[in-house]
């Protein structure tokens, strides 16, 4: 069955089981610090980071375009700590309301065209208070990570709460310039249910990203190469992690 990513409630149910790591969350939490801030989590997904930040005392607003993802996030938020919104960033007033904006899960790579990158960075900037910053990451293209997007190289298996076995893998379709086209496969046994999602991601170099940030008005940028806070190494780092202030 071919479906769009994050629109099928069944696949959204799988999301948290396939994304159990906390290394990125812990790193962003350390950058934000302990003082209460107004934080926007853009592309919040199932709400894991937003809820963690709220539990640390931050005032959190979270936005995601996928209704099924936000439904899961709201269900987790039993104490109603977070303001949840379905849609794009532009649904929020264009005024400086936030000290920080996070965008995790490599969501930045879903911005395929320069116009989308420019618009998103500008929309983020106008919603930041003076001295505010954005925090996000993108995969470093230098390591050609898509080379491993084969059934053998990307296979992951997890046991679901009901005992069923979930297999998940990628299949590379094409690599054209900065754009990578691929399929994500989900297979559940018993039952032999199989879903296929077609996706595209953009792999931008640090140099090109720095140009976009400068044009959008982000003058103070810190670059990291991994979730331990190591400096970015163009040849070796797997991630390009950004903390950019206006």
The tens digit of pLDDT for each residue in 160-199 reads: 999 999 999 999 999 999 999 999 999 999 988 999 999 9
Q: Which helix (H) or strand (E) holds 214?
A: helix 206-215
* Count of the separate structural domains present in the chain: 2
- Cα R_g (the chain), whole angstroms: 18
Whether residue 185 sits in one domain with residue 67: no
Largest CA distance in the chain: 54
Task: Enter the pTM of the model.
Answer: 0.96
Whether residue 148 sits in one domain with residue 129: no
The tens digit of pLDDT for each residue in 115-124 reads: 999 999 999 9
The tens digit of pLDDT for each residue in 38-74 reads: 999 999 999 999 999 999 999 999 999 999 999 999 9
CA atoms of 16 and 13, how far apart (whole Å): 7
CA atoms of 164 and 158, how far apart (whole Å): 9
User: What CATH number is given to the structural domain containing 131?
Assistant: 3.40.50.150
Q: Would you say residue 6 lies in a domain?
A: no
CA angle 171/173/179 to nearest 5° reads 115
- Helices and strands in the chain, H and E counts: 7, 12
Domain coverage including residue 224: 12-140+204-245
Whether residue 232 sits in one domain with residue 156: no
């Amino acid at each position: 069955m071919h479906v769009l990513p994050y629109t099928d409630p069944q696949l959204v149910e799988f999301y948290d089981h396939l994304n159990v790591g906390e290394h990125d969350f812990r790193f962003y939490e350390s950058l934000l610090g302990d003082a209460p801030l107004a934080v926007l989590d853009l592309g919040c997904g199932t709400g894991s980071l937003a809820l963690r930040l709220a539990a640390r005392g931050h005032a959190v607003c979270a936005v995601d375009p996928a209704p099924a993802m936000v439904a899961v996030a709201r269900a987790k938020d039993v104490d109603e700590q977070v303001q949840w919104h379905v849609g794009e960033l532009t649904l929020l007033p264009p005024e400086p309301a936030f000290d920080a904006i996070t965008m995790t899960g490599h969501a930045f790579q879903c911005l395929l065209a320069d116009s989308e990158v420019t618009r998103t960075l500008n929309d983020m900037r106008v919603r930041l208070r003076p001295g505010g910053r954005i925090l996000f990451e993108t995969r470093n293209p230098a390591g050609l990570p898509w080379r491993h997007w084969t059934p053998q190289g990307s296979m992951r298996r997890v046991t679901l709460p009901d005992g069923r076995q979930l297999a998940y893998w990628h299949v590379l379709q094409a690599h054209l310039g900065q754009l990578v086209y691929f399929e994500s496969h989900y297979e559940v046994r018993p039952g032999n249910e199989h879903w296929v999602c077609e996706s595209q991601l953009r792999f931008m170099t640090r140099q090109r990203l720095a140009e976009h940030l400068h044009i959008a008005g982000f003058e103070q940028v810190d670059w990291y190469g991994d979730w331990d806070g190591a400096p970015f190494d163009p040849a070796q780092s797997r991630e390009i992690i950004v903390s950019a202030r206006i």
